[in-house]
Amino acid sequence: MPVGYLRHVVSYWQREYDWRRWEARLNGFAQYTTTIDEQTIHFLHVRSPEADALPLIMTHGWPGSVAEFIDVLGPLTDPASYGGNPRDAFHVVTPSVPGHGFSVPMATGWDHQRIARAWAELMRRLGYERYGAQGGDTGSVVSPLLGHVDREHVVGVHINGGLAFPAIEAGDVEHLTDVERRRLTAAEQLRTVGTGYAELQGTRPQTVSFGLSDSPVGQLAWILEKFWEWTDPARALPEDAVELDHLLTDASIYWFTNTSASSANLYYENRASFNEPSEPSGVPTGIAVFPTDPAIRRVLDRRHHIVHWSEFARGGHFAALEAPDLLVDDIRSFFRLVR
């Protein structure tokens, strides 16, 4: 990421960005905290006006936050007000992942499995006996795990924006399509030159945080570089894919909550095992593939019971921010199959 672009974004953050406006937008949604397994869990709980709406728990990733769902909460909870069908409505729960945002302070031992168990308990406390799960990045791991730990209550799982490297087996290569071969090549390139942040956060989360927690520009750069790398490749700049105010709201939450270390610690806790499901849970799964996703169907079929698969030419890793319309439509389409 060029230093000139960082200077441009820093200048905008200093002189034009209005945190209070975005704080008010966030505060327009009902927010709560609870304690699960001795960990403070912050979450948004947006009830639909439709009484028979399906409960849906949505999980963000790193470097994300609950703020990335601002533009999808309305269409998901109240589709009739956005030109949609009220039968597609959801009651949406969006927790801050432990160590992120307002789910702090963070204890040790919070890996993906433990988060999935906490989400199951959260939905139980909210009185939801039957619900769906959705997520990208970290959420693309936690949501399928929910299908394993709470399969008697999870009716379906929808994921996007996974960064796991395709687990190619010997017999797969000859059957790959040209598109899948390009995705595999991109994944190998990412593994070679694009995982430095993960190595640092997975091995020395405290050390890297000393610089990030001491410098707002350092914290912004650490996050902005991921938007530079992971947003829609057809867009020249991150702000062409994601509204700059959205991006800075995300960075501001990390800075104001001082969560550079605790959010990085999630990588450390999952270092030994990423805790991805090794076999399908049997829960119906929908997968939305955006241009930056290294998704290969035959590989994912071994880990998920896939009943819905969509591929899009627009968007990127941060689908809820880059292509909220496409993501909302795909979530609705998938859950029509399992409601």
State the amino acid at position 308 in one-letter form: H
Q: Helix, strand, coil shares of the chain as percentages rounded to 5?
A: 50, 15, 35
Q: 3-state secondary structure string, 70-130?
A: HHHHHHHHCHHHHCCCHHHCEEEEEECCCCCCCCCCCCCCCCHHHHHHHHHHHHHHCCCCC
Q: Among the options 111, 137, 150, 330, which is catalytic?
A: 137
Kindly state the DSSP code that residue 66 receives in the 8-state scheme: G
- Per the annotation, the verdict on 8 as an active-site residue is no
State the amino acid at position 263 in one-letter form: S
- Hey, how many other C-beta atoms are within 10 angstroms of the C-beta on 22? 19
- Per the annotation, the verdict on 172 as an active-site residue is no
Give the tokens for residue 57.
């728990």
Kindly state the DSSP code that residue 229 receives in the 8-state scheme: H
- CA 5, distance to chain mean position in Å, is 25
Q: Give 267's contacts (C-beta < 8 A, 6+ positions apart).
A: 62, 198, 201, 202, 205
Tell me: cis bond preceding 105? Omega within 30 of 0 counts.
yes
Cβ contacts of 210-216, under 8 Å, gap ≥ 24 = 212/260, 212/261, 213/258, 213/260, 213/261, 216/13, 216/255
- Per the annotation, the verdict on 317 as an active-site residue is yes
What is the sign, positive or negative, of the torsion defined by CA atoms of 249, 251, 254, 256?
Answer: negative
Give the bridge partners for 91, in sequence order. Answer: 55
Q: Among the options 88, 267, 304, 330, which is catalytic?
A: 267
Would you call 339 helix, strand, or coil by DSSP? Answer: coil
- Strands of 31-36's sheet, edge to edge? 31-36, 39-46, 90-95, 54-59, 131-136, 154-160, 284-289, 305-311
- Hey, how many other C-beta atoms are within 10 angstroms of the C-beta on 51? 8
Q: Which are the catalytic amino acids?
A: 137, 267, 317
